[in-house]
């Protein structure tokens, strides 16, 4: 899927919704979404927003069901060995120009 190179930002957000909120609506899931009183079922991604999640193929940091963490993955961080440079880089810290 060449979504990051060939699609508008609006279309990328639509793509993200196509695999998150839209299926929940179609299935009629009650208590879906971030709001007081909902189930607290969610996936935490290593990305600042839906576009970054697609662009970076974001690491799934946590799976939470009914408010309890049921799975965790360490954050993806590149390690650098270059003089005068930071020792590590989190890809989610960098956004493309114009974002």
pLDDT in tens, 11-55: 888 888 888 888 888 988 888 888 898 888 899 999 888 888 888
Task: With respect to residue 99, please indicate whether it lies within any of the assigned structural domains.
Answer: no
Q: Domain tally for the chain?
A: 1
Q: Is the pLDDT of residue 96 over 70?
A: no
Query: Residues near 44 by Cβ (< 8 Å), separated by ≥ 6?
Result: 60, 61, 62, 63, 64
Residue 68 is predicted with a pLDDT of: 95
For residue 74, the enclosing domain spans: 3-93
Task: With respect to residue 98, please indicate whether it lies within any of the assigned structural domains.
Answer: no
Task: With respect to residue 76, please indicate whether it lies within any of the assigned structural domains.
Answer: yes
Task: With respect to residue 69, please indicate whether it lies within any of the assigned structural domains.
Answer: yes
CATH number for the domain spanning 32: value is: 2.30.40
């Amino acid at each position: 899927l060449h979504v990051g190179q060939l699609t508008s930002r609006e279309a990328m957000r639509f793509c993200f919704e196509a695999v998150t909120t839209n299926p929940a609506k179609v299935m009629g899931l009650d208590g879906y979404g971030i709001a007081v009183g909902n189930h607290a079922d969610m996936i935490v991604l290593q990305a600042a927003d839906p576009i970054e999640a697609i662009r970076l193929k974001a690491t799934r940091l946590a799976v939470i069901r009914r408010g309890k963490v049921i799975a965790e993955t360490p954050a993806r961080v590149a390690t650098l060995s270059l003089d005068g440079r930071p020792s590590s880089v989190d890809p989610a810290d960098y956004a493309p120009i114009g974002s």
